A and B are shown apart, each in its own frame.
Chain A
Amino acid sequence: MEIDRVDGRTENQLRPLACSRNILNRAHGSASWSQGDTKVLAAVYGPKAGVKKNENPEKACVEVIWKPKTGQIGKLEKEYEMIVKRTLQSICILTINPNTTTSVIVQVLNDDGSLLPCAINAACAALIDAGIPLKHLAVAICCCLADSGYVILDPTKLEEQKMKAFAYLVFPNLILSVLPEGSLKVVGEPMEHAIITSVTQGAMSVDDYLHCLDRGRAATAKMSAFLRKTLQPQISSDSSKAG
């Protein structure tokens, strides 16, 4: 199906991705992630001694602080904080550093649509940079549904406003480490097909949603390849230094 997007992309085409790591001097880990004009900077401090509020003798705690580009934080930012926090908690191995807190600070540099997915990607890259033990990576994408039923990926702000509905989806990335046999598959579905996070807005039919899932899944495979490609050489050089 032919559709016209303002910037001339095809429906499946993502905006140019850019990711750089270790850009802040004082943070334990930091990364910036940009998708076209949307750009987010994330910094990780920790694991540090647990503060009283989040104390848990059995598990580590992740806290997320969302800093908007301008202005005060409102309900939207509070919701994003909660979603990013729960998403990151689900990919971290929390039992390794019990009774600690890891702070993730998300600073929005520019918002041109798909802000939450971009922030999740940035936060995930920053966690890798900080060397926080993770179960797997998380890759986030925004799928937009138009009135005529077609799905476009990674919309800009203008497209987000024009569309009938959109879904922010977060998928797990392939595990390369060793896992017990059989834990990867549940009822015959590979693990990368499961969703970590789903946030939708606007009414759509159930079939449209499942269609969005398929398309998002296909796109995140590309994005996770990109994430690995950018992060791997740097990490392997780090570890050789340490050794």
Chain B
Amino acid sequence: MGLPDASGDLSSEMEVDAFRRLFPLRFYERHLAESIRPDGRPLGRARDTTIALGAVASADGSALAKIGSTTMLAAVKMEVMTPSMESPDEGCIAIDFHMPPICSPIVRPGRPAEAAPVVSKQLSDTISSSGMINLKELSLVSGKAAWMAYLDIYCLDADGALFDAALLSAVAALFHLQIPAVSLNDDGKIVVSEEDGGKLEKEPVNKEKRKLTLRSIPFSLTCILHKNYILADPTSEEEAIMETLVTVVLDSSSQLISLYKPGGAVLAYTSAVQDCIALTRQRVWELQKILDEANSGMEVD
């Protein structure tokens, strides 16, 4: 969180700080009128974003995503299960979002965070609506065995735009996912193949580690609507002061996956909706580049 630079003048810094605490909304509006935000960003710019693939060695796919100081750790664990009767040749993906007390002063130990189930539901809706994963690809033996992918996302630091960071980390973890090699043993059970691959009498079901083919990748951008201003990628302070949030999810082919505006004091006019969509389009392009760079960095290693 960048405080305004007060270049050594202590008295003015105290005053600004006091003003910020006492009249947060006025403090922000003074900035917005100058088309700048207290952390030095223009209104439409998102914070610096980084992705590190493969952050958890024991998981089959993992990623650590940071948007400003909002940090999310996502990991995928694959398990073999028996597919349901209705869809014998499809695997399954279970998404869970966790907000431990470490992430924010609002979350207290013992009492689960209110936002967690909502973000979790939003994530599974988004990933299923986008059709990013072909569940048929997770099938091993039709009607007998299929992959169950447990995707867990942990919020390590909640500083606004939780859904954006969670989706980014989830997508990156799925991007990094390597489906383990398995084979069918004599009892007809699926076992994970040994790395040395010495014995070949077992019938291999999934010969080598493979990646999922992701059809189109969804990326999101949360914006705050305040009066006529649109602030992209809010921090938690901004979210607490100005409450109207709009989250737009677009995929790489510019399809609208979700436009999520749960109430809020400011009404979204069509022009504002279109502005948010335009900002998201630009952001999708940025995030795509960041993800590609993270991936090429992995390949070099």
Q: Which residues of A contact B (CB under 8 A)?
A: 74-76, 78-79, 82-83, 85-90, 165, 167, 170, 172, 186-187, 189, 191, 193-206, 208-210, 213
Contacts and interface: CB of A to CB of B under 8 A. Distances in A.
B267 A79 contact: no
20 contacts: A75-B120, A79-B117, A82-B114, A87-B262, A88-B263, A89-B263, A90-B244, A193-B269, A195-B268, A196-B267, A199-B258, A199-B260, A199-B261, A203-B130, A203-B131, A205-B256, A206-B277, A210-B270, A210-B274, A213-B270
B128 to A, nearest CB: 8
A205 B254 CA distance: 7
Interface of B: 114, 117-118, 120-122, 125, 129-131, 228, 244, 251, 254-265, 267-271, 273-274, 277
B267 A195 contact: yes
Contact of A75 (B121, B131, B271): B121
A235 B267 CA distance: 27
Given A191-B267, A200-B258, A213-B273, 9 more contacts: A79-B117, A89-B265, A186-B269, A187-B271, A200-B260, A203-B256, A205-B254, A206-B256, A210-B270
Contact of A187 (B120, B261, B263, B269): B269
Contacts of B270: 189, 193-194, 210, 213
Nearest to A192: B267
Majority DSSP secondary structure for residues of B touching A: mixed
A199 B269 contact: no
B256 A78 contact: no
A36 to B, nearest CB: 25
Contacts of B260: 198-200
A213 B251 CA distance: 21
Contacts of B271: 187, 189
Contacts of A193: 269-270
A200 B263 contact: no
A134 B122 CA distance: 29
Contacts of B258: 199-201
Nearest to A53: B111
A90 B256 contact: no
A102 B256 CA distance: 36
Contacts of A170: 263
Given A79-B122, A209-B259, A194 B277 contact: no
B259 A198 contact: yes
B51 to A, nearest CB: 23
Given A196-B263, A200-B258, A82 B269 contact: no
A86 B115 CA distance: 13
Contacts of A189: 269-271
Given A78-B117, A195-B273, A203 B255 contact: yes
B263 A197 contact: yes
Which 5 A-B pairs give the minimum distances between C-beta atoms?
A86-B263, A194-B267, A87-B263, A78-B117, A75-B121
